[in-house]
Chains A and B, each alone.
Chain A
Amino acid sequence: MIEFNDAFLIAWHLVAGADARLSGIVMLSLRVSVAATLIACVVGMPIGALLAVGRFPGRRALIVLFNGLMGLPPVVVGLLVYLLLSRAGPLGSFGLLFSPTAMVIAQAVLVTPIVAALTRQVIADEWTEYREQLRSLGASRGRAAATLLWDGRFSLSTAALAGFGRAIAEVGAVMIVGGNIDGVTRVMTTTIALETSKGDLPLALALGGILIVVVLSINAVAYALRGWAERRWG
């Protein structure tokens, strides 16, 4: 396929030439997805920990719900957030539609269940190991959840990374709530979709390659950090 060669060359030229528009798009992608992941962690991790540790009616149903919501279609999330933020919608007066903030909200909604479900898994494993000791020391379930979240911080980085990967790779939600406005809400995935629809497949492929490299680099750095931290703290 001739396109792969073209794509590689184009990608090389874009990166080597430090293309300003490209770096703007990459930075916006990172900013939006990092912000969404942070929000998802702040919201989703305590939820996941409480689902792992807590004992309350409806807990099992909630676990199934969050596991199911991991497969939430981005387009549906996009549409829901769009209808919420649209001027005619309940949150329309804030004028957030077609802004990076709207994209952060949509991605946070998309990613929170993933972070919560993966966190629950990690914390549930820890809880079986720690449960008796923590209860013996008199930790309430809420306190135990907080302790396990902190104690599982290195393993939980995987949950955060999974969420981030999903956020930065999705196109459906940000396309709808961001509008793919040049210079304002155009991120890597929407640019790729746009170039594909313009029939510029080599450019689209090149951008896709850059996206993959960015995501891989972040994962590699996180993996190295986690390894270092685990050697440091056991």
Chain B
Amino acid sequence: MISRRQFCSALAACSMLAAAASHAQERFITVSSTTSTEQSGLFGHLLPLFEKASGVKVRVVALGTGQALDMARRGDADVVFVHDKAAEERFISEGFGVRRQEVMYNDFVVIGPKADPAKAAGKDILEGLRRIESAKAPFVSRGDKSGTHAAELRYWKAASVDLDKAKGPWYRDTGSGMGPALNTAASMNAYILADRGTWLSFKNRGDLGVIVEGDTKLFNQYGVILVNPAKHAHVKQADGQKFIDWVVSADGQKAIADYKIGGEQLFFPNATR
């Protein structure tokens, strides 16, 4: 029989061990990025290639662009990899980022019921949105300050729709990520602005299909930024820079172009070197 003392010391030892064991050491950087890059599977394809080339592991925390930048502002990331040019430039001007480099673009698509009750189908994003608004057809918004949300708001503005006035039960502000918002749209048979990558890898489509695509306005530029070591001394500058250099290099750009779902290329490299 084990005594009480043995039992208690074993318990204490176990809990300390368990706490300590979960803190293994390895060489890694933390990248705050968006759900679109993570959930489309792009990082699953890219990172093993980079890790093999550099020996540096990459830990991706996938959030909306706004949250991803906030996380970096607090110093919890070494590199940000996001898609909202205006927000990224603000991030740099506040001194949190060293330099923004463009990496690639993908495009947004308007997803909606295949029957298209608002007759929004076509190539023109602004006309499409105007028709959705005038038909008061259900529309799901991310509403989470993500890059996609920011883009959506820009398009409404460009289409001269004043959301503050036009908002009604047809406009559903969900405050959720791309996937959950798509789930909501599928269950409500609503229109939604999505990035093509997430849409292509999304499985629970219901009766939804692509309604508007191909407008150059729908191109969605991704940038990559090293968090400023002057603001956060612990930033892994060398390894972070190594990652940035690789994604904009010929090898990295080719890897991006090679990533396809169902034969369809999702991201188009356009790095400024």
Contacts and interface: CB of A to CB of B under 8 A. Distances in A.
A/B touching: CB–CB < 8 A: yes
Interface of A: 31-32, 34-35, 38-39, 41-42, 86-89, 92-93, 95-101, 103-104, 150, 153, 179-182, 184, 194, 196-201
Interface centre among B22, B35, B180, B201, by most A CB within 10 Å? B22
A86 B74 contact: yes
A61 B15 CA distance: 29
Nearest to B178: A197
Given A31-B18, A97-B76, A179-B61, A196 B232 contact: no
Nearest to A153: B7
Interface string B55-81: 000011110000000000111100000
B179 interface: yes
A41 B22 contact: no
Contacts of A184: 59
Nearest to B39: A198
A103 B7 CA distance: 26
The 4 A-B pairs with the shortest beta carbon distances in the complex, nearest first, are: A197-B179, A87-B75, A35-B18, A199-B204
Interface in B156-206: 176-180, 182-183, 186, 198, 201-205
18 contacts: A38-B14, A38-B15, A38-B18, A41-B15, A92-B75, A96-B23, A98-B61, A101-B22, A101-B23, A104-B19, A153-B7, A179-B61, A196-B180, A197-B176, A198-B179, A199-B183, A201-B203, A201-B204
Interface in B62-102: 62, 73-76
Given A39-B15, A98-B76, A182-B44, A104 B22 contact: yes
A195 to B, nearest CB: 9
Contacts, number: 100
A95 B75 CA distance: 10
B179 A39 contact: no
B9 to A, nearest CB: 11
Contacts of B19: 35, 39, 101, 104
Contact of B22 (A100, A180, A197): A100
B59 A86 contact: no
Nearest to A94: B23
A201 B32 CA distance: 26
Nearest to A99: B23
A205 to B, nearest CB: 11
B202 A179 contact: no
B161 to A, nearest CB: 28
Nearest to A150: B4
B10 to A, nearest CB: 10
B250 interface: no
Interface centre among B18, B21, B35, B186, by most A CB within 10 Å? B18
Given A87-B234, A199-B186, A180 B4 contact: no
Nearest to B235: A87
Given A38-B15, A201-B203, 5 more contacts: A35-B22, A38-B14, A87-B232, A197-B176, A197-B179
A199 B23 contact: no
Contact of B75 (A86, A98, A201): A86
A181 B60 contact: yes
B249 interface: no
B12 interface: yes
Contacts of B12: 42
Contacts of B230: none
A157 to B, nearest CB: 12
Nearest to B40: A198
B203 A200 contact: yes
Given A39-B15, A101-B23, A199 B234 contact: no
A59 B39 CA distance: 49
B237 interface: no
Contacts of A104: 18-19, 22
B234 A95 contact: yes
Interface string B11-31: 110110011011100000010
